[in-house]
Amino acid sequence: MPLNAQQRGSAVGVSKRRLLSPADNPLVRAVGRLPARVHVKLLVAFGGIALLVVVLGALGLRLLGQSNERVETLGTLQQRAFAYGKLQSDARHVRLLQANNTGGAYYTVFPDLNREDFSADGPVIDRLIKSAVAQIPAATFPDNLGFSPPPEDEIYLKRIRSTGGELSDVMREIVAVDAVAPTRATSLRYRAELLSIELNEHATELANTTRKRTNALIAENADAYKGSRNLLIGAAAGTIVLALLLGFALSWSLVGPIQQIDSRLAAIASGNFTGHVDVTNRDELGALAANVNRMNDELQRLYRELETASEHKSEFLANMSHELRTPLNAIIGFSQVVREGISGEVNAKQAEYLDDILTSGNHLLALINDVLDLSKVEAGQVQLVLAPFSIRDALERGLSMVREQATRDGVQMALHANGGLDTVTGDERRIRQVIFNLLSNAVKFTPSGGLVDVSATQSNGEVRVSVADTGPGIAAEDLDRIFQEFQQTEEGARHQEGTGLGLALSKRFVEMHGGRIWCDSEVGRGSTFVFSLPAGPARP
């Protein structure tokens, strides 16, 4: 089905964009598909650019050599033109003298000359002509010219030598008979005039021919210079274009796949395993892209397996926690009934054993509750119940829950809450759980006579709560680890209390509210746990 004008225009636009796009450029993809290693491609590219430079240099040297040859030829022609011009001048001088000696014929041949310049009598002029003509044949030989004339000039020079020699003989005879046979001298002068005319014509023809060659060579040299200049500029431009094209194709055949691989790796790092790298290179980058795709598929498979295992673990923990809590609640309940003596009196030893049962049961119940809460958080089954509540009231309730233990252990507690605290929108039960975890840890690790200082402030749109103790402190390398599941410091392990889940749950709950939690501590100088919450509405 034929395309309309709009469709053809769209297709042309797509084709142009494809050619201009480094990733889709056919030349780039063709270079990438060459079955060669990257370093081989780089060496070939550098070698190609170097070869282009060498070719350009050789062309420039050749053009310069040709120009130099033309200049040398022009210099030789100018030298010949100067020498032949002197011959022409000497022949013209002889012709003028001879014209004067034959009675005014020079007025017709040379009307611009003044007869008064040649007012001497005949014998005197004859001697002048004889002397001038005698020098002309000798001047045609290479020794006197200063160069070896080419064959085409030698023809004219032979004519000049022959005519000049004949004219010289005639003039010697004229000088010899001037005094004894004037009539004979007059006859010879007319013959000498014809020879002088012929001599002048030969010399003029030689000089004009040489000048024409010189002018033609000058014009040829000018044209050749323009042609050489244009050729050199075109070759340089072509070299630059080819070098840029080669650099463009090679660089993007390397950079393009690297960018694609980098983008895919970034996506993999963020947990996105749905894509693949489309690299057609038949070099190390192509092999790397194939390995990245295989790694992507393998990570996707492992990630799915881990998700499945995590779901099974969460389901198992939830089911086990539920199944364990039912009999455990019965154990704790019946132990309390027996301990209170409802079913009969118990002696001191039995009461001690029942207290141990109740303590261990409550500890186990707390562990089960923490595991159940953590499994729900990991499974995304915890939904925050958002409502405005007073952070000060939550702190006071937390303190009242741990005050009995603090009093028993000889630990003092203090609350410093800013009176201008606003209410916080969040899940009060979860925040109270965070506060209780921090307070119970502080009391547990603070020695007798120590202090747990609780403070709350509001600034920059957030409420910040800190719990400081005077306990043993936490090493710097453990500050991040304590917020992970089932992780405890050496001090916590020695106490043999807790589950290692309290801080991990606290971190999850605070982050679900859009806040953050951290610890500032120094070994031997106590610890300060701080968490912040947005003063406005939290995320559900």
The Cα–Cα gap between 13 and 18 comes to 8
Q: What is the pLDDT along the chain (540 residues), one digit of tens a residue?
A: 455 555 555 554 544 444 445 656 777 767 667 777 777 777 877 787 888 888 888 888 887 887 788 788 888 888 888 888 888 888 888 888 877 766 544 434 444 444 444 444 667 777 888 888 888 888 888 888 888 888 888 888 888 888 888 888 888 888 888 777 777 877 888 888 888 888 889 889 888 988 888 888 888 888 877 887 888 788 888 888 888 877 777 777 777 788 888 888 888 888 888 888 887 777 787 788 888 888 888 888 888 888 888 777 767 766 776 677 778 788 888 788 887 777 778 788 888 888 878 878 777 777 777 777 777 776 666 778 888 888 888 888 888 888 888 898 899 999 887 666 667 888 888 898 899 889 988 998 889 889 999 988 887 778 889 999 998 888 888 887 888 876 666 655 555 455 667 888 888 889 988 899 999 988 888 899 999 988 765 444
Q: From the DSSP assignment, how many helices (H) and strands (E) are in the chain?
A: 14, 7
* Per-residue CA distances from 279 to 172, 248, 261, 274, 288 (Å): 101, 17, 9, 16, 9
Q: Which CATH superfamily is domain 383-534 in?
A: Histidine kinase-like ATPase, C-terminal domain (3.30.565.10)
Instruction: Note the pLDDT of residue 325.
Output: 73
Indicate the class that CATH gives domain 81-222: mainly alpha
Classify each residue of 327-352 as buried b or exposed e, where b means 16 or more C-beta atoms within 10 Å of its C-beta.
ebeeebeebeebbeeeeeeeeeeeee
Residues β-bridged to residue 387: 426
Instruction: Note the pLDDT of residue 531.
Output: 92
* Domain range list for the chain: 81-222, 284-376, 383-534
Instruction: Note the pLDDT of residue 393.
Output: 87
Which strand (E) or helix (H) includes residue 436? helix 428-445
Instruction: Note the pLDDT of residue 468.
Output: 92
| Fold for the domain defined by 284-376 | Helix Hairpins (1.10.287)
Ramachandran quadrant class, 471 (left: phi over 0; alpha: psi -120 to 50; beta: rest): beta
Instruction: Note the pLDDT of residue 469.
Output: 92
